[in-house]
Amino acid sequence: MERTMLGSLTVSNLALGAMLFGTEVEETLSRRLLDGFVAAGGNFIDTSNNYAFWPRNGYAGSSEELLGRWLKDRGRRDDLVIATKVGALPNRVGAGLEDIEGLGKATIIADIDASLRRLGTDYVDLYYAHIDDRTTPLEETLEGFDAVVRAGKVRAIACSNHAVWRIERARQLSRQLGFPEYVGLQQHFSYFRPRPDSDLKRNGTMGMRGGWGTEGGLRGQHLDYIRFNPDFRVIAYTPMLRGAYRHPERLEAAYRTPDNEARRVALDAVAAETGATASQVVIAWLLGSTPSIIPLMAASSEAQLTENIAAAAILLTPEQMHRLDSAA
């Protein structure tokens, strides 16, 4: 697996999401997936302080706790880049994302200590603002992140589910105030594109904190921004659309459009030409895009992990990339 830069961090060009590790993916299998990812050359592992509160057997912090046990048994913490998040933890048991903690300074400082205890480490490499909080002044949020970086508890910061104008405003403020800047954005993105109006329902679930900021995915404005800011990277979450490329019946209504029917034809054609699966072509397309995007992949089986990792070795030709890009 190749390496790429994310700010000052050297990360694998694929990231492994641990969101459901320890809940829907039981611990023994979770450990095998983590071991397999690292054995294949991966080092970039993603979690959050609210993973995963929604499964029936889950609770906030369970993913971090599993990673902490695995890290303790594995050792060699410095070989890895561990990312976690703050800001989307429900305020009470039974609440959802309509009632979350937000990104106040005190929350950021308190929550990093709780995450470090669960992870069993004294620092995280990357700390995300999980969901934009438009009820808290940006200066306060950035001051909180500055405090945890200065304390040596965090190496770099990034954001997730943010609109472009909020990202740029935050980065400008950081420069003015001498605070660390966001080095990247984690946002929902895949080859199939949702209907432009599909974000309205999702944004409505976020309540007063301000929404998914885009609302619900990576848009043309984001792509334009990162083309002209090469020091700022994108990490794409849910790039496989929860298995919908392999199982079309799983495709959400927001993606059932004529445009995506045309993109499916192009995707299947390139998959046939390369001898790859459609899911693998999507990963290869993300990696081969300009600017290159880091796929954040999930895995619930060792076979799925192997398939995803193998996709990183697929090099699409310029003609294949053009066909995929220009479909519909």
pLDDT at 211: 46
Q: Are 170 and 210 in contact (CB under 8 A)?
A: no
Could you list the pLDDT tens digit for every one of the 328 residues in the chain? 999 999 999 999 999 999 999 999 999 999 999 999 999 999 999 999 999 999 988 999 999 999 999 999 999 999 999 999 999 999 998 899 989 999 999 999 999 999 999 999 999 999 999 999 999 999 999 999 999 999 999 999 999 999 999 999 999 999 999 999 999 999 999 999 998 777 534 433 343 354 444 445 788 889 999 999 999 999 999 999 999 999 999 999 999 999 999 999 999 999 999 999 999 999 999 999 998 999 999 999 999 999 999 999 999 999 999 999 999 8
Closest CA to 133 of 164, 162, 106: 162
User: Rounded CA gap, 141 and 133, in Å?
Assistant: 9
pLDDT at 217: 77
CATH T-level assignment (fold) for domain 3-254+286-315:
TIM Barrel (3.20.20)
Q: Are 160 and 85 in contact (CB under 8 A)?
A: yes
Closest CA to 145 of 161, 126, 162, 164: 126
Residue 165: count other Cβ atoms within 10 Å of its Cβ: 11
At which residue do the structure tokens 């057997």 appear? 57
- Burial label, 197 (beta-carbon count in 10 A; 0-12, 13-18, 19+): exposed
* DSSP β-bridge partners for residue 100: 90
Structure tokens at 151: 């304390």
- Phi/psi for 257 (5° steps) reads -130, 160
pLDDT at 208: 38
Structure tokens at 314: 């697929």
Domain positions in the chain = 3-254+286-315
Q: Which amino acid is at 324?
A: L
Using DSSP, state whether 39 is helix, strand or coil.
helix
Length of the chain: 328
User: Rounded CA gap, 139 and 127, in Å?
Assistant: 17
Greatest Cα pair distance, the chain, in angstroms, is 53
What are the helix and strand counts (H, E) for the chain? 11, 10
User: Rounded CA gap, 165 and 162, in Å?
Assistant: 8
User: Rounded CA gap, 215 and 2, in Å?
Assistant: 31
pLDDT at 83: 99
